A and B are shown apart, each in its own frame.
Chain A
């Protein structure tokens, strides 16, 4: 479909969102990410049955941690899409980018002096 979206995301492939570890989410922020999106199958449509539900739970927990440490849970979001929803994916990237732009650079990145 070649729908255009902002060149702000870098995609990391995992077998299933069920593989997405809290540590990895936190690592991304630690390394300087301003936002992280977890994108999995629609609920009920998980290729591995329930992996995305596990991810949902972990994303929730990570958001709490981010809130606690002052990064802000709103910088992390999970989305559920089917492979036929390219249009929605482009929208989501647009929306997430907008949201992060409004939030500004992550405090971690500011502290690391990596902020532009």
Chain B
């Protein structure tokens, strides 16, 4: 605090705070800060706030539903005018000085517009991508379009998108493979083909002929086999009539474009130009279009009708085709430009076969393979020989061979290498062999042999062998000298490659490469001549069709840009950007091979040209598609875009970087659960029925994967026996030596709740080392669990091994070291907390110090300040802690930031402008406007909304009705405001969703329109109707009419209610001048509030004076001196010592406390707005173990003083025994005193410092050195302090022996009594509260049986009293360490400060009123009010202070004379609803 305070005086502070981490701590801190006048930027890495608490089922020790208690906080946070929530956001950099920091914030795209999304979930309904639901720890599924959890804030959905899938990135045409595979899975074939055709106009063709490089990169092969992508494409194309797919109409472009060649490149280019509005002309040299697709591929692989249909479809889009028109023969390049063509695309392909280069090649009977295929495919006359030799090993060679085979030839393929090197597709070689084609490997033609007529009669071949690998990596064929043979054939068909015919290039200004291809820019496909582009084989040399398609597509883009005068290169790069952030491949997913496609039986195939591959059946296709791993998560299938009626989906969103100015930063990044896969012995990864505690929370949760039904994951059977293993990842030097502080309690809670869930006798066992139930009321929870039959087994776990039927066998050593084992159905690992790598990285970026366990380093005096001024920390980032500790620290962090920025409060915040309200008199006839919501299709899809709207018009007092697509949308709010004014409405009814989320929004709209916000009523026709009766639309509509009629009936009777402003006295009173109280006072004063401190003793400081050193070695007295000096010197603090509270009156914001001060006992009245109770505690004075009877039986505090004052005496001792739990954990005081274990360790270490040879023995029940305190426990053991456990029924005995003392105790290992003479016995005596009985009565604040004050809520309001305006801190709340008291003091100050800062508070209109004329003062209300608010006045009638009333209505329902009414829920208003129902 010291450092922070100095900075506060600096000018130029910014009245905004950034809170990093939206878990419960971050949420609490944000609310406290925003409510006390600061603009808050709440930064969350996930798509919604809520953190781990939102995932929990119940919370200990109250067994509250976790979601139920955090949800209101979420909503409050989400709706707060001065909290800006940044989701999916990360802090990148922080510059500047405390008070004025510049934060660079990066927000990842959500792909959903937060302002437009109504949370209806239609996107998730249609999303085909199923992923493990992280919120449910992978035990359930969610979609790529998802919401973290139903109650999430912001409630908008988001889309999870990683890098594009490797299949798409590999495809030369970048077809969205994952997308269309998903659509096929869903049976949406039309949509699938539409998606394919965004890139590829020939789906059926490529679905047959593509060599699918995508499949080589498919990650499914890491599991079994790649997805059969090509087959799926063919399947989809075969299902759909392309004529039914119509592209988006676009503006027609006038420029003429010439496309030379109608192969895949030319067709793709023409198609994409047509989609952009051009009407290109294709010039084709041959009589029919299709290029190599037509003339190079036989019908049995690609039937002509498939090709024809797809080409016709391209032509349908306005592409002109001129056949028999060849460039260089019929026209020149220059002709084209002179005819008015503005751009030219060259896609001529490679149609010229390469010669063999052997003698006799020009003989009759030597035909190039490509020529043979072309003639055959064009139906031109083509003779084939009886015996045919095909030279080559590529696909053309195979195609020629199989074609000739079908025409009746004997075919021998001659290939110069071996089978392995053959470039043709494996399955085609197989096919050829199957059809009877012979292949001669390792042979090359030497000479074509001819007869006298010059006709081929054979071929002389050279035998080869494989030598060294060549440039292609394949082994080079080397002739075997002398090994030659003759092949008797009558026809020789070379098929060793093709090239382009480029004579037209001469003088055209277009350059060729040395490989005789056209030279182009690799990105733009522009040739050396402007306006001329080229792609396909003529650019690449003979290559695959899909590459040509990709080239044609890119060239079309370039031509478009060229014609529009745009930069050809902007935004285009060569090669694909891939970070390879892809969905993880599940370790336990089972393999499933790909679907085999049926083929024609071999006996058919070699005779006919029918297509061999028969395609998938529908079931096969969907099954195959479902194998896809969805590498990119979102498949970009765009179904969500079509489904979202609100138009909220935006797949084009990009990451956003912004700079945010703030005065301070509060880190609340929380923890991550320890990942137990690191342990071999627990087999977490291998056995489904070994789960983490967080997974078990989800299993228990009613909103979890099993809807709260207690079953185990492997077989969904109800477990009979569950074991919990404690300290997984904690108290283990291999991973984390610290204690995770919460696991003992949550394990007990889970065991108790599991027993509640089971309707049978569930056996639960917790295997533990020390049971650390050290928090307030935790020990009693532990005791209760024992009574309820939860077994607690003190043990060390050896292994968890599989047992039959999915069960698990736990082998462990019990306390005596004996090895035992037991079988369970389900094992829960109580995993600890750790700092996530992201949080650690952030800490390093911010330059804040972390301790050796990676938690943020803080010190005693400033428990929420980091090493960097202006940066604060709270929650589990500062150390493992439970929810109330986190919430407390969050408030403390808010207080610390508030104290730093006190001078700039309310400078960055917004307030709502409210127009003057319209006067509504009781006699005014109700004029009701009814707005019926379709909620997209959520309501309208089930309920007949127009009928409902018309029905509403028939109801009494309804003067206006309408229906909206989304009544909650921003534009509807504007319309609603206008309608209220134009129609002079004085009541509004909205029939839509739930008032929980939407009533506040509509009420604000009423306020904007000048209507009192209480004149509003909702009919929940979605959550309570259309959603839950979706199978009975007729009945749902009837119910909606009923609900609407009820709403209108009540609305007619609604009254405007005045929310009276609350005046607040901006002064604070702190009762108690100990460490907690002084810190509270100091913080309040630093925030700028005048503060009174009342201390009953003469001196400030309280019980802390009795402590000299903390376990960390902090000098407590020096700290107290500084603290008291600072308090006394503060100009806003008044200290009253020897002061006693004798009177207390008033209510929140306006208290009056009467105090008797000083030795003179003069009376003083203090008016103040808030009260902080910090009355402190004391050490129990033991009556056991000879305390007070023997001078060397001391308490811890006695020992502390002795060590400080007479260290030599202590140093002279040879043996000391400490006894734990004196006055705690017993019948009189069942609580654990939390601090005595660390106290014993601390003093043991101090004694060891004085005399390392001293025997120090600590007799304990459970060592409860929670959190980082475990480090000192470890140190004590290392330094020879001995620890011996005792059971309370065999407690140690202390006896005087002569001058000395002796202790007898039972050694738990030896199982024998041991008697030891000792020099001193130290009693770890309980921590008790000071006597506050009178104060509690005066302030009407509750205490528990032990005398500790009871906070408003054990989890989320740990420093508030239920009575508003009164706060709590320090030992008065429960035993705690000094740094915890300081934090709580600051937290109380922050909460109190936020209350004082909120000067615009009003009193809710929903309060109870008594009709005094009819009140009989029967006291029923006084007795029934849960808050004790009603008072009987001196006029003998009941009076309810509306500033205190909570509005629950209990008194009204109890009042026998019905003279109490709760505004807004008055009897006639409720009766009207009931009466209108029938």
Chain A interface (Cβ < 8 Å from any Cβ of B):
1-7, 10-16, 18-24, 27-28, 31-33, 42, 44-51, 54-55, 58, 82-88, 90, 114
Contact = CB atoms under 8 A, between A and B. Distances in A.
Contacts, number: 133
B1046 A84 contact: no
Contacts of A86: 702-703
A21 B1467 contact: yes
A42 B63 CA distance: 11
Interface residues of B, number: 52
Interface string B554-571: 000000000000000000
Nearest to A82: B65
B719 interface: no
A106 B1465 CA distance: 27
Given A10-B1046, A13-B995, 10 more contacts: A11-B1024, A12-B1473, A15-B1406, A19-B1452, A19-B1465, A22-B1453, A51-B1426, A82-B65, A82-B702, A84-B65
A51 B1425 CA distance: 9
A7 B1475 contact: no
B1448 interface: yes
A54 B1424 contact: yes
Contact of B64 (A5, A22, A45): A45
A16 B1426 CA distance: 12
Contacts of B701: 84
Interface in B1443-1467: 1446-1450, 1452-1454, 1458, 1462, 1465, 1467
Contacts of B703: 1, 84, 86
Contacts of A45: 64-65, 68
A4 B1029 contact: yes
19 contacts: A4-B1030, A7-B1029, A7-B1032, A10-B1477, A11-B1043, A16-B1449, A18-B1449, A18-B1453, A19-B1449, A19-B1465, A21-B1470, A32-B1478, A45-B68, A48-B1450, A51-B1448, A82-B702, A84-B708, A87-B707, A90-B1028
Contacts of A1: 150, 703, 707
Nearest to A25: B1474
Interface string B1029-1048: 11110011011001100100
A31 B702 contact: no
Nearest to A41: B68
Contact of A7 (B68, B702, B1039, B1471): B1039
Contact of A2 (B1027, B1450, B1471): B1027
Nearest to A109: B1478
B528 interface: no
B720 interface: no
B65 A83 contact: yes
Contacts of A23: 1458, 1467
Nearest to A88: B702
Contacts of B1406: 15
A3 B1028 contact: yes
A39 B1454 CA distance: 18
Contacts of A15: 1406, 1447-1449, 1462, 1465
Which 7 A-B pairs have CB atoms at the shortest separation, nearest pair first? A19-B1449, A18-B1450, A48-B1448, A49-B1426, A16-B1448, A32-B1478, A7-B1035
A46 B1446 CA distance: 13
A90 to B, nearest CB: 7
Contacts of B1450: 16, 18-19, 48, 50-51, 54
Nearest to B1471: A27
Contacts of B1020: 11
B836 interface: no
A4 B150 contact: no
Nearest to B1455: A21
Contacts of A84: 65, 67-68, 701-703, 708
B1426 A85 contact: no
B1427 interface: yes
A2 B1043 contact: no
A107 B1447 CA distance: 36
B1086 interface: no
A57 to B, nearest CB: 9
A12 B1028 contact: no
A7 B1448 contact: no
A13 B1465 CA distance: 9
Contacts of B1458: 23
Given A7-B1029, A10-B1039, A114-B1478, A58 B1471 contact: no
B299 to A, nearest CB: 53
Given A4-B1031, A7-B1032, A31-B1475, A12 B1453 contact: no
A29 B1176 CA distance: 56
Given A31-B1477, A85-B702, A24 B1470 contact: yes
Nearest to B708: A87
A10 B1448 contact: no
B1360 interface: no
Contact of B1453 (A21, A49, A82, A90): A21
A54 B1453 contact: yes
A24 B1474 contact: yes
B71 interface: yes
Interface string B1271-1311: 00000000000000000000000000000000000000000
A14 B1449 contact: yes
Contacts of B1032: 7
A66 to B, nearest CB: 16
Contacts of A11: 1020, 1024, 1043
Nearest to A13: B995
A49 B701 CA distance: 23
Q: Which of A21, A48, A84 has the most CB of B within 10 A?
A: A84
Contacts of B1030: 2, 4
Contact of B1427 (A5, A49, A83): A49
B68 A82 contact: yes
Contacts of B150: 1
A7 B1036 contact: yes
B215 interface: no
Q: Which of A15, A22, A27 has the most CB of B within 10 A?
A: A15
B1462 A12 contact: no
Contacts of B1467: 21, 23-24
A111 B776 CA distance: 59
Contact of B1426 (A6, A50, A55): A50
A48 B128 CA distance: 44
A74 to B, nearest CB: 20
Contacts of B707: 1, 87
Contacts of A24: 1467, 1470-1471, 1474
A50 to B, nearest CB: 5
Nearest to A58: B1453
A90 B63 CA distance: 23
A14 B1035 contact: no
Nearest to A29: B1474
A87 B63 CA distance: 19
A4 B1426 CA distance: 36
B1255 interface: no
A112 to B, nearest CB: 9
A85 B708 contact: yes
B785 to A, nearest CB: 17
Contacts of A42: 65
B1081 to A, nearest CB: 31
Contacts of B1477: 10, 28, 31-33
B1025 interface: yes
Nearest to A12: B1473
Contacts of A82: 65, 68, 702
A26 B1201 CA distance: 71
A48 to B, nearest CB: 4
Given A16-B1449, A19-B1453, A49-B1427, A83 B68 contact: yes
Contacts of A3: 1028
Interface string B4-25: 0000000000000000000000
A48 B1470 CA distance: 20
